[in-house]
Copies of this chain bind each other. A is one copy, B any other.
Amino acid sequence: MSLTVVGSIAFDSVRTPFGERERMLGGSAVHFSLAASFFTEVGVVGPVGDDFGEREIAVLRDRGIATDDIEHVLGGETFFWRGHYEHDMNVAHTDDTQLNVFADFVPKLSEGSRTSEMLFLGNIQPELQRGVRAQSSGSFAALDSMNLWIETARDSLTAAIAEVDCVLLNDAELRMLTERPNLTQAAKATMELGPEVVVAKRGEYGAILFTPDSVFAIPGLPLETVFDPTGAGDSFAGGFLGYLDGVRSDGAHDEQALRRAMAYGSVMASFNVEDFGTERVARLTEAEIAERLSEFKRLTHFEETA
């Protein structure tokens, strides 16, 4: 078992109704790999600049994450994002984006990353995702994307989707991608592009899993305090794919494993939002994960008969 993730490694400055933080460790590959590291062996591919130091690397290494494919661009600066949230924490408002070393990033996978059994293509330019998929011999690949690429690179994104087994997108993005206002129809139309597994992420409302044979929906855990939702979708993906890779190495997943993976994804997303940046997930324990999985079971369980 092994899982490679390609995506952004970033510094995030975030303001929410509960406080603010400057230049926290962030980015899709970081949130994803931290969450996945509780379930399987993970390696990160992505570029950083001179401002990315031992302290940041240590957060990943402390969780056993392989950092050999983190490319240090000499003289460069790390990707930077500044954003804020109002009371509706489902909506991120972007105040500044500095691509920096990400602007000229061309992912190169080492031998170890190439032969990973599972691959996650974080939200980057679809042609880059395709380039990574072409380098990988992994038997199961998944991708995330965003409205920007649907609007500006639809053909590339469609081609990238055709080359993966699983798509994870927000429900609004699935609707936009397929131009179907109905989510079930949008998921089916996405499957027609290639992938057998489609996950619609719905923020605080949870997520839905569509496969050719069934549908599984899990609500979000109602939390009293949500400090910072940044990275929750990537933590979901990390828990989801990390669990799948941890229990199976051949990329063929049974229905119950996929459902449990959805629950673990929800568990990791629910922890992600409890503190700023990576702070909550970085200090998480396996016992806390098991306890929260039970909490999701209690949240959703009912008996059909008395």
- A: residues with CB less than 8 A from B are 17, 87-88, 181-185, 202, 205-206, 208, 214-220, 222-226, 247, 256-257, 259-260, 262-263, 293-294, 297-304, 306
Contact = CB atoms under 8 A, between A and B. Distances in A.
A208 B301 CA distance: 12
Contacts of A220: 217
A217 to B, nearest CB: 4
A244 to B, nearest CB: 12
A203 to B, nearest CB: 10
A302 B259 contact: yes
B184 A208 contact: no
A176 to B, nearest CB: 12
B181 A87 contact: yes
Given A181-B88, A223-B184, A225-B182, A214 B298 contact: yes
Given A88-B181, A182-B225, A247-B306, 7 more contacts: A205-B206, A215-B222, A216-B302, A256-B303, A263-B302, A263-B304, A297-B302
3 closest A-B pairs by beta carbon, nearest first, are: A217-B219, A87-B181, A259-B302
B224 A184 contact: yes
Count the copies. 2
A183 to B, nearest CB: 6
A300 B217 contact: yes
B217 A222 contact: yes
B182 A224 contact: yes
B293 A260 contact: no
A112 B279 CA distance: 60
A181 B263 CA distance: 25
A303 to B, nearest CB: 6
A226 B182 contact: yes
A294 B304 contact: yes
A222 B208 contact: yes
B293 A304 contact: yes
Contacts of A222: 183-184, 208, 215, 217
